[in-house]
Amino acid sequence: MFPTKTEKARDELQAGQRTLSQRERALLLMADGRRSLTDFSPLFPSRVEAEQAIQGLMQRGYLQDARPVVVQPVAGPSTEPVSVATSADSFDGKRSLATTRMFLFDICERMFVRRDPRFANQMRDALRQARDREAMLTIAALMLSEVEKAAGPERADSLRERIDKLLPPAETVH
């Protein structure tokens, strides 16, 4: 099972919405259709509790399974089923510094807290102080250079792409 967020989950993650626990919200933040139960287990005391939390969020409409769905075409010469990917990491939410900051906090927690607690604390402090796009990009660059060292260039590139989707566009001066 590779859960991904539903529209209800995106609404929950917007500022001002707080109906779920911190742990459930963290699970929603991480649910991107590419992570499995194994990736969520460290958030909970046991794997069973992680599975129960995911199932509960699915039953309440916050998560859905990101496996491909088979769709039968309505008309046409072929009767072969068509596979449509419902997962992916398609972000269609609002671009904002707040969303970017939360994503960077999430990276910090998942990638650095255990491996390098001092660096994680520095990044947390920097993220709390970041007030503009440039500051956020500087912090992201620092974190991504460490991600590249720890997890490889592919992982860093995928996170970089996601950050680009989350950050608001640079303002153009005419």
pLDDT of residue 50: 83
User: Considering only CA atoms, which of 122, 124, 135, 123 is closest in space to residue 167?
Assistant: 135
Number of domains the chain is built from: 2
In a domain, 83, yes or no: no
Same domain, residue pair 110 and 158: yes
Looking at 16, 42, 65, which one is the last position of a domain?
Answer: 65
Confidence band for 47, pLDDT divided at 50, 70 and 90: confident
In the structure encoding, which two tokens stand for residue 35, read together? 């992570």
Looking at per-residue confidence, does 5 or 87 come out higher?
Answer: 5
Q: Is the pLDDT of residue 99 over 80?
A: yes
Residue 81 domain flag = no
Domain limits for position 118? 97-166
| pTM over the 0.75 mark | no
Mean pLDDT of 95-110: 88
> Is 115 among the domain residues?
yes
**Could you tell me which residue, 132 or 57, shows the higher pLDDT?**
57
User: Is 126 within a domain?
Assistant: yes
Q: Specify whether the CB–CB gap between 31 and 87 falls below 8 A.
A: no
Angle at 63 between CA 153 and CA 68, to 5 degrees: 65
β-sheet bridge partners, residue 63:
5
Domain end marker among 25, 43, 65: 65
Answer yes or no: is 19 within a domain: yes
Which residue's structure tokens are 């720890």? 150
Same domain? 158 vs 108 = yes
Sorting pLDDT into bands at 50, 70 and 90, what band is 104?
Answer: very high
Q: What is the mean pLDDT of the chain?
A: 79
114 or 79: which carries more pLDDT confidence?
114
Q: What whole-number distance in Å separates Cα of residue 80 and Cα of residue 76? A: 10
CA 73 to chain centre: 32
- Rounded to 5 degrees, φ, ψ at 63 are -125, 155
pLDDT, tens digit (0-9, with 9 covering 90-100), for 1-26: 788 888 888 888 876 767 888 788 88
CA 48 to chain centre: 22
Residues 7 and 60 in one domain: yes
pLDDT of amino acid 71 = 47
In a domain, 79, yes or no: no
The answer to whether residue 106 sits within a structural domain is yes
